[in-house]
Copies of this chain bind each other. A is one copy, B any other.
Amino acid sequence: MSLLVIGSLGLDTVETPFGTVENAIGGTAVYCSVSASHFTQVNLVGVIGEDFPSTEIAFLRSRGIDLDGLEIKPGKSFSWGGRYGFDLNSRDTLFTHLNVFETFNPRIPEKYRDTPFIFLGNIGPDLQLSVLEQISKPQLVALDTMNYWIERTPAELARVLKRVDVLLVNDSEMRQLSGEHNLLKAARQVRAMGPKIIVVKKGEHGAIMITDGRFFYAPAFPLENVFDPTGAGDTFAGGFMGYLTKCRRIDEAALRQAIIYGSTFASFVVEDFSIGRLRHLREDEIRTRFINFHEMTKFLKPWEE
């Protein structure tokens, strides 16, 4: 089994109260594919410029990530700059240079066309749709989007959502997309648009998965030092989709474990800038943190007193 990941790759400049990093690799496809690579083989689709460090390309390859779908174009890579305030919950975007990403038109290599699991990172819904049209028979399609597309291209977004199984959004996007403040009502609206599995990412408040009338709640891992929240959502998506791909089945039990793996990877990535913490992440660290999540949420039923 393999997972196709499409999304941005870029060079990020990030300021937090704890330090600054310049031109560190980032972008949805980087965070997502590196975390997913712990579970499965990833086919990556994206575009970079000539300034993208070849050492980083080598690193992605060392994770078993197939880069035949990665275009290298003349010019500069997508580049983003942001600054976080002290509570790390809000950030200011300092600059966004689309560069080679501006004319990105994803072409799916022939050998990727039967990839069963698909993650459509947060790009224009028209591009997300064009990717789906190049895939022969996807088994599970997950999509991330944001307020920008919900506001500006609602018709295109509605079209792609019809073909999506899993929607990953944050709580404000969920409310905006559905026009409902209440999460139960919002979930009903969004499920009627297409995706039957909804994952609401709530940052420090954890994540909620809503399937057919069922809710699953996962906390965020309590960390003494959150260093840089950039990429937490994409890393979550990578752990979630990577695990499902490895599992090959999409039942409630596997989905719940996937949410916990997503939360696990997200809790690691924020401990350092960029993908620093993911570079040498060991399987026993992942397993221990997963078990910590279990420990933090378990309780006895009334008759087990």
Binding site for B on A (CB under 8 A): 86-87, 181-185, 202, 205-206, 208, 214-219, 222-226, 247, 253-254, 256-257, 259-260, 287, 290-291, 294-302, 305
Contacts and interface: CB of A to CB of B under 8 A. Distances in A.
Given A217-B206, A301-B291, A184 B222 contact: yes
A215 B205 contact: no
Contacts of A302: 257, 287, 290-291
Nearest to A226: B182
Contact of A247 (B206, B217, B225, B305): B305
B291 A216 contact: no
A206 B299 CA distance: 15
Main secondary structure of the interface of A (DSSP, over half): mixed
A296 B216 contact: yes
A299 B260 contact: yes
A181 B86 contact: yes
Contact of A183 (B222, B296, B301): B222
Nearest to A210: B222
B301 A216 contact: no
Contact of A184 (B87, B185, B224): B224
A87 B219 CA distance: 22
Contacts of A301: 290-291, 294
Contacts of A225: 182
Given A182-B224, A217-B296, 18 more contacts: A87-B181, A182-B225, A182-B226, A183-B222, A184-B222, A184-B223, A206-B217, A214-B296, A215-B219, A216-B296, A217-B217, A254-B305, A256-B298, A256-B299, A257-B300, A290-B301, A291-B301, A298-B298
A162 B218 CA distance: 33
